[in-house]
Structure 1
């Protein structure tokens, strides 16, 4: 069912042909922001774990790998079809924008597919991860996520860990710029240690960007340069979709420092978890994020629920809608962060500019009225 997502452009095209209604070019928006949140609520959660005796068999079952592999040909078939439709001359500007956003939704969730593949040890899967990232021109994610984010997650040093009191709209430029800068530093350090310059084809960031540039150039040659603004638009929407999910995954959570001054080992309690069935099916269990950070190489089909992991009130589809509206987000999430830390706001990852206001509002060790003392 996860392969329904890369079919969004074909679903949109089919619905427009069937009904004659141009609104269906916006099918990506309708599905991501309306239908999926409703399905999440209707189906609910499943916190059951596979038995320990089945984990090795699950990890080895190649069926689940092919579910991720097949995302890529469908993703790029949809992109080519979308480019043909965008430049065909039959769509209004509003319809073109809708189709661009629909393509961006596929590209953004394609970054999740790249995320799953990029964590694996097999070179083929890591290469496929870079292919999936080419559509969004976000190839540096492969570097920063694996060697940066997973090291610094749930600390003030991580550009992809949102802070308590930080709105998504403040988080977005910080994470986009910070993640790019971090990826470049990491890759430059790797190449310097090998006695080389970062300006080399061996630079994984430059090679990833070259792959994206080649893709965009090929599509511009095939469909004309007028396709380029739409390619840029879908790429921006795609990586912004990734970043709003990043915002959701670690909001306000903080790893404590040990006596040595280092941050404690990442554990399930440092990532927000969600057991909503529908979103997990469509996102390759990305929402079991607590286990993923505790065990990064574990394949998605074997990820587990942990009782001590903080739980989101709904799936990612609903949470990203809330994130776009900071007052609603704070109303839903801030008291959950406080509850997770027993009411002590000082234990959370605080937005520096709002630290004083948050301490004044919540105090130390004082739980907001009507909230539980420990996160579920």
Structure 2
């Protein structure tokens, strides 16, 4: 536990302790999921533990969130710079990468050399997919930083899940269009996860390609060339999978595909949670208002926050994208999820439960005026009628005037 000394505005000297400092090491557990699975199977003889990844992510973690207290404390402003410059925190994210790829290649070896049942192999693929999916969150943390090393490491992490375009789309697409109908990664009232998934996956690929194509055209470079960051990111996946197939044999290809799809599906499940039903208003000039804390769902459940590098303090992340995870703050204006992300993902995959819980929360967030929410096209009249609204006023009338 590190103690920082600072001077308050009134001139008095105070100290602040980061009580979570060593807890961040626990974020490396998902990167070691294959090793954990092998160890548990060896210790017990139970093949069920090839599914250790989802057991940890969707069994143990929700339980720990219930048992542990919530953490709504923020570091004082005076210690932010010192925390940002403490390299312990960034080394913790760096450590994810060698563990991630050690787990990946160990799994490739097991698929090729061990005589496991198809069910056990699929379980191991899902376990590796948990490593890949949570790895996308590590890539998210690294990809927002200004240092070239961290940005390169971000793209390396994304290669396993075949989602290298996320580096482009998230930073230059999602952060611009968040909580608007134009953003493929912002989910809508009346939209199930299963309808959101293909829209977000396809929309993310399309958005990344368009963003990168426009950038290259502006600088006079060919779109189909080595300067295209989307193409080079995808080539990293081709190289990784090609090398894996060459070394371990073609028999592992179904499991490479399973782990990649499950990995990026975890990302899309998180996308589904983060801005569900939330909408930025248009100003009288037709532009969207600035993204505010009220446009992201947040959670202070400490265990999931530790495992996901404070991703659940999402409002502050959108306000300060380059801010490092250890300094992200919880904000009073931000709407709060009733549980951590791991629990909410379980609800999201059961649409009736999700809508029963979250739709009323969106309605309360907008004081019952669902005209202010982001609603799935084609379901607007039905959603408004469910809340007793028959006057679907134009946006300018419903929203009123707001300063830019």
TM-score above 0.5: yes
2:308 maps to 283
Residue 196 (str. 1) matches residue 218 (str. 2)? no
Cα displacement (A) at 1:32: 1.1
Q: How many residues align?
A: 366
Match of 1:73 in 2: 98
> CA separation in 1, counterparts of 2:213 and 2:308?
32
Please give the alpha-carbon distance, in whole angstroms, between the structure 2 residues aligned to 1:18 and 1:365: 62
Write the distance in 2 (CA, Å) between the matches of 1:353 and 1:109.
Answer: 34
Counterpart for residue 13 of structure 2: none
CA deviations 1:48-98 (Å, max 9, x no partner) are 111111111111110000010000000000001011111113211110000
SS at match of 2:233: helix
Contact 2:221–2:227, Cα closer than 8 Å, also in 1? no
Q: Does 1:46 align with 2:71?
A: yes
Gapped regions of structure 1 (runs ≥ 5): 367-376
Distance (whole Å) between structure 1 residues aligned to residue 331 and residue 340 of structure 2: 16
Partner SS, residue 352 of structure 1: coil
Preserved CA contact (<8 Å) 1:344 1:365: no
Who is 2:384 aligned against?
A: 359
Runs of 4+ that moved beyond 2 A: 363-366
RMSD: 1.1
Return the TM-score normalized by structure 2.
0.89
| Cα deviation, residue 22, structure 1 | 0.1
- Unpaired runs of 5+ residues, structure 2, are 1-25, 392-404
Structure 2 partner of 1:26: 51
How far does the alpha carbon of each residue in 1:209-262 deviate from its partner, in whole angstroms, 9 at most, with x for none?
111100001111110111111111100000001000000000000001112111
Deviation at 1:196, TM superposition (A): 2.3
1:154 aligns to what? 179
1:333 aligns with 2:333: no
Larger Rg: 2
* 2:148 corresponds to: 123
Partner of 2:37: 12
Match of 2:127 in 1: 102
Partner of 1:307: 332
- Asked if residue 233 in structure 1 is aligned to residue 258 in structure 2, the reply is yes
The TM-score normalised by the length of structure 1 is 0.96
- Aligned counterpart for 1:170 among listed residues 187, 191, 195: 195
Taking the aligned partners of 2:287 and 2:215, their CA distance within structure 1 comes to 22
User: Counterparts of 2:330 and 2:114 in 1: how far apart (Å)?
Assistant: 49
How far apart are the structure 1 equivalents of 2:254 and 2:230? 23
CA contact (8 A) 2:384 2:390 kept: no
Contact 1:258 1:264 survives alignment (8 Å): yes
Q: CA deviation at 1:365?
A: 10
Q: Find the aligned partners of 2:156 and 2:338 in 1 and give their Cα distance.
A: 33
Kept in 1: contact 2:366–2:373 (CA 8 A): yes
Asked if the contact 2:41/2:47 (under 8 Å) is kept, the reply is: yes
Match of 1:214 among 211, 224, 239: 239
SS in 2 for 1:136: coil
1:164-205 deviations in Å (ceiling 9; x for gaps) = 111000000000001100100000000011112210010000
Task: Provide the C-alpha distance between the structure 2 equivalents of 1:102 and 1:95, rounded to a whole number of angstroms.
Answer: 10
SS at the partner of 2:74? coil
Any idea what SS the aligned residue of 1:353 has?
Answer: coil
Q: Does 1:89 align with 2:114?
A: yes
For 2:380 and 2:389, the matched residues in 1 are separated by 12
Task: Quote the Cα distance in structure 2 between the aligned partners of 1:355 and 1:200.
Answer: 43
SS for the counterpart of 2:129 is helix
Report the Cα distance in structure 2 between the residues aligned to 1:281 and 1:211, rounded to whole angstroms. 29
